[in-house]
Structure 1
Amino acid sequence: MTANILQVEGLKVAFPGRGFRARPIEVLHGVDLHIGAGEVVGLVGESGSGKTTIGRAVLGLVKASGGSIRFHSEDITDASPARRRQLAKQIQVIFQDPYSSLNPALSVGDILSEPLIVQGATPRDARKRVVELLDRVGLPGDAAQRLPREFSGGQRQRVAIARALAPEPELIVCDEAVSALDLSTQAIVLDLLQDIQRTTGVALLFISHDLAVVRHVSNRVAVIYKGNIVESGSAAEVTSRPQHPYTRRLLFASPVADPVQQRERRAARKQLAQMGLLDTRSGVTVSV
């Protein structure tokens, strides 16, 4: 059995309410999640479900109001800023938007070498590593001298992937890493991520609203609805034989090429919406 490198237990996150003396609004209600070394775990849910908040809590970008987050055996739930900077070598992130996640004033070479130099690499070693990274993500050698605006969306996301790989992390949080790309570019970037994951053994927390995309890359899948994990299991099981009505709704929302099957999915999704089914295991009502 693969040892867990990330263990999230009973995670709660609350944001301040609006207005004077407003009560905090809890958006995560006790989430449990684990990721083994070299494993790809898909976290899927629609907008507002809390999936990105989980990723940001793991990265230390939002504060947990309850529960714990452990990396290996260390509790990092309330890690200090100094410790978080150290953890950045082991836990990296690929954000959704390749246009805003890269500094437009820096060359690609500087974007990739800066974190390496901060972590102690010499400029010469950093430049050598940049060449390796650009080759790994399929970008030409002269890309290091160019600015992010000179690249397409898919190429910028390749730069973002290279930046995440630079310190050789154990875990990468992919927060809607392909949702801003067109379908053909999505497929290319997903294949690249899979190839990198296989060759490096890095673990991925792959966050997405698209069950079809999650199925393509994940070993296991967890489905989140309104701050609760309502279903989890192997990717094949959850995406082909979903048990929870909300997971079935996500599956029916994924487009397929067959017009007859697509019409059937639309009808099934409409039926689920009308029924407003309740899963007694989770206590979550699923309705549209």
Structure 2
Amino acid sequence: MSALLDVTGLRVTYPGRGFRARPDEVLHGVSLDVAEGETHGLVGESGSGKTTIGRAVLGLVATSGGTITFAGQDITHATRKSRRALARDIQVVFQDPYGSLNPALTVGDILSEPLRVQGVEAGRARARIGELLDQVGLPGDSYERLPREFSGGQRQRVAIARALAPSPRLIVCDEPVSALDLSNQARVLDLFVDIQRRTGVAYLFVSHDLAVIRHVSHRVSVIHRGDIVECGPAAQVTSSPEHPYTQTLMLAAPVADPVRQRARRAGRRRLAAAEPKR
């Protein structure tokens, strides 16, 4: 498989807080790639830099080094005009399904917006929205309803439908199920897998949960303190990790057996104690 997205030596630096504070480099030369039709999972704890990678790909944060290439085109410092054109091929699903939707617009208006930007005429847009609602498992009468009339899982389906509207080649999924309860998480994850099977869209899937990443990913990169510490096939990284930090993430996932859970907690404490301090 050829690389659709290629991130090489990516660095992102934020200004320091306070007078004369030193700049804070949050990504230290990160490299990863996403193939056509692939899900590349990016997993790490809060503050590891995983969301910053997704935001850099979307052009939402400035980079201080490295390159981001999409379909052979360098988009590291793409202009606003170029970014508008890229929106046809690169879309995003954010963490909060309600905060990412305009509460004053109906679902029909939300889904037609990216189509209007592309110049799709009204009749074709209405037909496309009907396809999208069916694709994400929402009833046809959703068109006239407001986001507040839906549950959290249904709102995330609306957000997924909006991302799919322009038929993108890549979707950046930024913790898309972390705000949902477990039953809705499973349904939405299965929806992502089903959509990829039918459309061939690629995902850069960002999460702090190794179990979520295992469910949807073909390959996994583990990020810790701004560095990729392990990368490989999802089955290998999520079941037999080599790096101590990945092992800690695996042990952090709860299990139903209290004896095994006690042993996992003890193992996690040992790994945490052995980790070098910064």
Q: TM-score range by the shorter chain?
A: over 0.9
> 2:164, 2:268 → 1: CA distance?
39
- Pairwise CA distance, 1:239: 0.7
> 1:141, 1:273 → 2: CA distance?
51
Q: Percent identity?
A: 69
Query: Which residue does the alignment assign to 2:256?
Result: 257
Cα RMSD, aligned residues only: 1.0
> 1:206, 1:260 → 2: CA distance?
32
Q: Is the 8 A contact 1:245 1:286 kept in 2?
A: no
Which one-letter code corresponds to 1:237 in the other structure? Answer: Q
TM normalised by structure 2 equals 0.98
1:151 aligns with 2:150: yes
Per-residue deviation, residues 49-73 of structure 1 (Å, max 9, x unmatched): 0000000000000011000000011
Query: Which residue does the alignment assign to 1:96?
Result: 95
> 1:286, 1:183 → 2: CA distance?
34
- Pairwise CA distance, 1:20: 2.7
Instruction: Spell out structure 1 runs of 4+ moving beyond 3 A.
Output: none
> 1:219, 1:257 → 2: CA distance?
26
Query: Which residue does the alignment assign to 1:282?
Result: none
Query: Which residue does the alignment assign to 2:137?
Result: 138
1:230 aligns with 2:229: yes
Query: How many corresponding residue pairs?
Result: 278
Query: Which residue does the alignment assign to 1:55?
Result: 54
Matches within 5 A, 1:98-177: 98-177=97-176
Matches within 5 A, 1:173-252: 173-252=172-251
Matches within 5 A, 1:68-83: 68-83=67-82
Which one-letter code corresponds to 1:57 in the other structure? Answer: A
- Determine helix, strand or coil for the equivalent of 2:212: helix
Per-residue deviation, residues 106-134 of structure 1 (Å, max 9, x unmatched): 00000000110111100111111000000
- Pairwise CA distance, 1:21: 3.2
Which one-letter code corresponds to 2:63 in the other structure? Answer: A
Query: Which residue does the alignment assign to 1:279?
Result: none
> 2:277, 2:40 → 1: CA distance?
23
> 2:11, 2:274 → 1: CA distance?
29
- Pairwise CA distance, 1:286: 6.9
Gaps of 5+ in 1: 277-284
- Pairwise CA distance, 1:255: 1.1
Query: Which residue does the alignment assign to 1:27?
Result: 26
Gaps of 5+ in 2: none
1:66 aligns with 2:44: no
- Pairwise CA distance, 1:154: 0.2
